Structure 1
Amino acid sequence: MRKAFISPSKYVQGEDELLNLGYFVNLFGKTALLIAHSDDVSRVKDKLDSTKRKFGIEFVESGFRGECSRQEVARLKELAKDKSCACTIGLGGGKAIDTAKCVAEGEALIIVPTIAATDAPTSHSAVLYTEDGAFDDYAYFKQSPSVVLIDTSVIANAPVRFLVSGMGDALSTYFEARATSNSYSNVNAGLPCGYREGVCGEAKGTNTALALAALCYQTLMKDGLKAKISCENKCVTQALENIVEANILLSGLGFESGGLGGAHAIHDGLTILEGTHKYYHGEKVAFGTLAQLVLENAPMSEINEVLNFCLEVGLPVCLSDIGVDRLSQEDLMAVAAKACIPEESIHAMPFPITVESVAAAIKTADTIGSNHKKNRGV
């Protein structure tokens, strides 16, 4: 059996770590292309200026236009070439990070998240969009970022909702990896590089990835609420450090090398409902996790543990929590059908999948979550 595991070459996390960014730039040269939204640059400008002086490096500002499109990637590649940039830095949220991945193509790449809202920073994949923001394609590169650098003091000063959304994304990691392991399905770590053309890498997940996914879940249960309170107070505690690691590193390694399952596919189905569009990825994945647990007939004790955690930190537990107050049978079946298209990760579940069974799981999860809220007086 062929197995695969992929990870960044170096992961560094701590307070004020942005002050050391210049050290990592110097591993490649003196000039780095900085791909970041102007607002994110403004948030950390003092630290960027300090690390430039300390390590004698230069940042080439990219004027990032905010969309990870083929046109923007081509423009930035040309800029990096013209300015003889030795490496690429993706600083900020998902779009800047994915654009940096596409520009670097797996070479000399430093990722600096300013929020802990998803597990994308460690991965070797990116999502491409059109210029007007519609989905275009997935891209996979030969290796993960060279360096992932996390400044937890920056994370602590970001809006709390980002951290909580990241916990929602991380919440699915163990359950999806468990399902993928039980079904012996392929994982993203085996995918070839380049823009995807329907070719899937034939590689299964490792025991290491499953263990990391389990640790991710354990960390959320132990430190999630304390980390949220720390972020509300804009301070760094050990609990916050642990949750940042869970949201970004443990979940990132867990999803890519452990596999995705029903939760993310149900998330993708839910995106066809207009009411969900103002909610973050991790918020919708949290409900998708509950629906996956119903789909696989998980023990009620496990479902209740997830429900209690979600309510504790402020994650959705029912459809109304993600902007869907009414769902017709027609819309429900459309969501389920979208979640079940052939290329979706729901087919990694260790049993046959039908549109009807997924629709039933979504409807049942919604009722269980709504009732749990009422019983808890929420």
Structure 2
Amino acid sequence: MAQSTVQTFISPGRYVQGKGAISRLGEELAQIGKRPLMICDDMVWNIVEDDVTASLKAAKLPVIREKFNGIPHPKEIGRFVELLKKHNADIAVSVGGGSTHDTAKAAGHSAGIRWVTVPTTASVDAPTSTLGVIYTEDHAFLEYLYFPRNPDLVLVDTQIVANAPAEFLIAGVGDALATWLEAKAVAGSFSDTIAGDLPTLTGTALARLSWDVLWENAIPAIAAVRDHVVTPALEKVIEANTLLSGLGFESGGLAAAHAIHNGLTAVPQTRGVQHGYKVNVGSVTQLVLEGAPFADIRAFVEFTTRVGLPTTLTEVGIDVDDAETLRIVAEAATAEGETIHNMSFEVTAESVVYALISVERLSRQIRAEAGLPEPVKYVAHH
């Protein structure tokens, strides 16, 4: 329960989205600093190098880029702090996915400079937030880091997002759908949000808007991405996955769905499963935990299965009869300080295990009755 009676809402300084928006990067960065350092992995840099270089040169900014190695762990963050100092950079610019953004935020904060995010997929809501998710070197969840401010700029080129594999957008829908389920739980329990106080009406309303936009537009948007075209539905879903979900989770609050995601990262079977896929299993589990109306659970399982998201443990690599794995997941999800304790009732590791077990049979039954595909076991590739 919250100690505060104050409500707080936080957001990035500026949000820019649209087809071809990458050409505006230089002029936008020039309003913030003089020596940006691009933090970007090789695969993404091959896609954006020409556009980024042209845009920075047009704005008379230097083109400095250092390779991101893939996982936001303390050593990688420390390496970028040193690189920012070496290049005398005054802005850390992450170009890529959520792990790149979390690394840039942490390194930029430690180096005492500003930071900017340029998402190339709409797979997570990390780009807008003050939050960094830090992992161990073998990609198990380590901790959340909270920074004193949001990025100065978030810039999303929707054509670059449309060119990425559809699985990234699908994962983003899974991450963003949890936003309303969790914000609703937090509003009902009078818990604090990541912004540090009670949620504002604004934060909770944006979480709800994200949900509504996705139910209306997710399936046509995913169809558009499969053809690499930008449509109005895709523009709306990119905004929902990135801005609305980002503002909604941060100023609306997190609850069980993301805590269960963190629990799932504690076991090796789920390595390689995208963040939003695991979050969706967390969302179904949260609905079961809170005793949601069956009609709501059925609608959610049917819709997210049609979107292409997992709704069973099987699909994230876990055997429902593996009691030891379920215990590890549940204990990590209910660790002290986890967001699952923002629910309006006490949640124990045992109740999480029971909910996880229940989700498997229930989702299979709902899918069979709706004529939807049977779950396929995820096999991790090492």
Question: What TM-score do the two structures reach when normalised by structure 2?
Answer: 0.91
Give the Cα–Cα distance (whole angstroms) in 2 for the partners of residues 76 and 333 of structure 1.
Answer: 36
Please say which of residues 204-213 and 355-364 is displaced more in the overlay: 355-364
1:23-80 CA-partner distances (Å, limit 9, x unpaired): 1121133321111112111111221122123222112112333333333333333333
1:180 pairs with 163, 177, 186, which one? 186
Q: Does 1:9 align with 2:3?
A: no
Partner of 1:354: 348
Q: Does 1:225 align with 2:224?
A: no
Q: Does 1:121 align with 2:141?
A: no
The amino acid that maps onto 2:173 is M
Partner of 1:261: 255
The amino acid that maps onto 2:251 is S
Deviation of 1:142 after TM superposition, in Å, equals: 1.2
In the TM superposition, 1:59-70 aligns within 5 A as 59-70=63-74
Q: Does 1:153 align with 2:159?
A: yes
Go from structure 1 to structure 2 and tell me whether the alpha carbon gap of 1:305 and 1:278 turns closer, same or farther (over 3 Å shift).
Answer: same
| Unpaired runs of at least 5, structure 1 | 191-202
The amino acid that maps onto 2:226 is E
Deviation of 1:107 after TM superposition, in Å, equals: 4.1
Deviation of 1:135 after TM superposition, in Å, equals: 4.5
Give the Cα–Cα distance (whole angstroms) in 1 for the partners of residues 70 and 305 of structure 2.
Answer: 33
Deviation of 1:131 after TM superposition, in Å, equals: 4.9
| Unpaired runs of at least 5, structure 2 | 374-382
Partner of 2:57: 53
1:26 pairs with 30, 34, 54, which one? 30
The amino acid that maps onto 1:93 is G
Find the residue that maps to 2:195 and give its secondary structure.
helix
1:40 pairs with 38, 41, 44, which one? 44
Deviation of 1:2 after TM superposition, in Å, equals: 1.4
Partner of 2:379: none
Contact 1:32 1:85 in 2 (8 A): yes
Give the Cα–Cα distance (whole angstroms) in 2 for the partners of residues 60 and 23 of structure 1.
Answer: 16
Deviation of 1:187 after TM superposition, in Å, equals: 0.9
Give the Cα–Cα distance (whole angstroms) in 2 for the partners of residues 296 and 232 of structure 1.
Answer: 35
Find the residue that maps to 1:189 and give its secondary structure.
coil
Partner of 1:93: 97
Deviation of 1:184 after TM superposition, in Å, equals: 0.6
1:189 pairs with 188, 191, 195, which one? 195
Deviation of 1:311 after TM superposition, in Å, equals: 1.6
In the TM superposition, 1:194-213 aligns within 5 A as 203-213=197-207
The amino acid that maps onto 2:31 is L
Give the Cα–Cα distance (whole angstroms) in 2 for the partners of residues 353 and 5 of structure 1.
Answer: 27
1:138 pairs with 116, 141, 144, which one? 144
Contact 1:107 1:146 in 2 (8 A): no
Q: Does 1:345 align with 2:339?
A: yes
Q: Count residues with an aligned counterpart.
A: 366
Deviation of 1:98 after TM superposition, in Å, equals: 1.2
2:84 pairs with 80, 99, 102, which one? 80
Deviation of 1:130 after TM superposition, in Å, equals: 4.6
Give the Cα–Cα distance (whole angstroms) in 1 for the partners of residues 241 and 356 of structure 2.
Answer: 25
Give the Cα–Cα distance (whole angstroms) in 2 for the partners of residues 270 and 256 of structure 1.
Answer: 21
Partner of 2:106: 102
Give the Cα–Cα distance (whole angstroms) in 1 for the partners of residues 105 and 63 of structure 2.
Answer: 17
Contact 1:25 1:31 in 2 (8 A): no
Partner of 1:247: 241
The amino acid that maps onto 2:202 is T
Find the residue that maps to 1:254 and give its secondary structure.
helix
Go from structure 1 to structure 2 and tell me whether the alpha carbon gap of 1:104 and 1:330 turns closer, same or farther (over 3 Å shift).
Answer: closer
Deviation of 1:326 after TM superposition, in Å, equals: 4.2
Give the Cα–Cα distance (whole angstroms) in 2 for the partners of residues 294 and 50 of structure 1.
Answer: 51
Give the Cα–Cα distance (whole angstroms) in 1 for the partners of residues 223 and 340 of structure 2.
Answer: 34
Give the Cα–Cα distance (whole angstroms) in 2 for the partners of residues 327 and 89 of structure 1.
Answer: 45
Question: What TM-score do the two structures reach when normalised by structure 1?
Answer: 0.92
Give the Cα–Cα distance (whole angstroms) in 2 for the partners of residues 360 and 136 of structure 1.
Answer: 25
Give the Cα–Cα distance (whole angstroms) in 2 for the partners of residues 18 and 32 of structure 1.
Answer: 15
The amino acid that maps onto 1:21 is L
Deviation of 1:177 after TM superposition, in Å, equals: 0.5
Provide the alpha-carbon RMSD of the alignment: 1.7
Contact 2:185 2:255 in 1 (8 A): yes
Partner of 1:291: 285
Go from structure 1 to structure 2 and tell me whether the alpha carbon gap of 1:80 and 1:272 turns closer, same or farther (over 3 Å shift).
Answer: closer
Contact 2:41 2:67 in 1 (8 A): yes
Deviation of 1:373 after TM superposition, in Å, equals: 1.7
Find the residue that maps to 1:20 and give its secondary structure.
helix
Go from structure 1 to structure 2 and tell me whether the alpha carbon gap of 1:274 and 1:70 turns closer, same or farther (over 3 Å shift).
Answer: closer
Contact 2:141 2:266 in 1 (8 A): no
Go from structure 1 to structure 2 and tell me whether the alpha carbon gap of 1:368 and 1:89 turns closer, same or farther (over 3 Å shift).
Answer: same
Find the residue that maps to 1:126 and give its secondary structure.
strand
Deviation of 1:134 after TM superposition, in Å, equals: 5.1
Contact 1:116 1:163 in 2 (8 A): yes
The amino acid that maps onto 1:113 is P
Find the residue that maps to 1:148 and give its secondary structure.
strand
